[in-house]
Amino acid sequence: MDNGVDMKAKIFHNPRCSKSRKTLELLLEREIETEIVEYLEKPPNYQTLKDILKMLDLKPFDLVRKGEKLYKELNIGKYENNADALLKIMIQNPILIERPIVIANNKAVIGRPPELVLSII
């Protein structure tokens, strides 16, 4: 591992989220060139979300924020085993996507806690 030179990362970031802000801070402190995607404004598309899930080694249901009010309103639990439906729901309602997600070195991690990002950089 180097000191961040030539290291690049992408963070799916929500500036209102303290964990997301702290994760971004960790990347910037290490002078890692970071592409910031404010995913609430620009949600990932279907294929990007599938790629992220593959890198995370998670099923779509594992990436859903179950504490969100919208989770209950849309009765998301009934889609637990329907990957296609969940992906579409997350794209239409990006607030339901767990955050922050960081991609670096062809790996991805959810920054909860933020220090987990250090495992891929």
Whether 97 and 39 have beta carbons less than 8 Å apart is answered as yes
Residues 41, 35: Cα–Cα separation, whole Å: 15
- Return the closest-CA partner of residue 89 out of 103, 101, 102, 71: 71
- Angle among Cα 18, 22, 25 to the nearest 5 degrees reads 140
Q: How many CA atoms lie within 13 A of 44 on its CB side?
A: 23
- Annotated catalytic residues are 17
Pure H helices in the chain: 18-29, 46-56, 69-73, 83-92
